[in-house]
Amino acid sequence: MTEHVNSSHAASGPKQHRLNLGKLSIPLPRSRSARIATGVALILGGSLWFLPVLGLWMLPAGVLVLSADSAQMRRIRRKTEIWWGRRKSEKEGAG
């Protein structure tokens, strides 16, 4: 889901990190430390799901942001994508 997108020319400028969710594309901070801080903040905020505004939606969003820089989070995301895809295809086949 996370994808590195170059600017208009491959040789010009640094890579822009973007979070792609279907047709929605959200830019991520260029700084690695800012992306890690954003991902950790989302996960910590998601752990406070019972408070207003914060919610469980923040947990997977934090994992997605962290997967841009962390191999461990990337593995978790890939395993979840595979599990979800198999689950979805089994339900479509049964129904």
pLDDT digit string, tens, across residues 4-35: 444 444 444 566 778 777 788 888 888 889 99
Domain ranges of the chain: 2-94
Q: What share of the chain has pLDDT > 70, as a percent?
A: 83
* End-to-end CA separation in angstroms for the chain: 27
* Burial status of residue 62 (CB atoms within 10 A of its CB: 0-12, 13-18, 19 or more): buried
Whether pTM exceeds 0.85: no
pLDDT digits (tens, 9 = 90+) for 30-48: 888 999 999 999 999 999 8
Q: Is 60 exceeded by the pLDDT of residue 93? A: yes
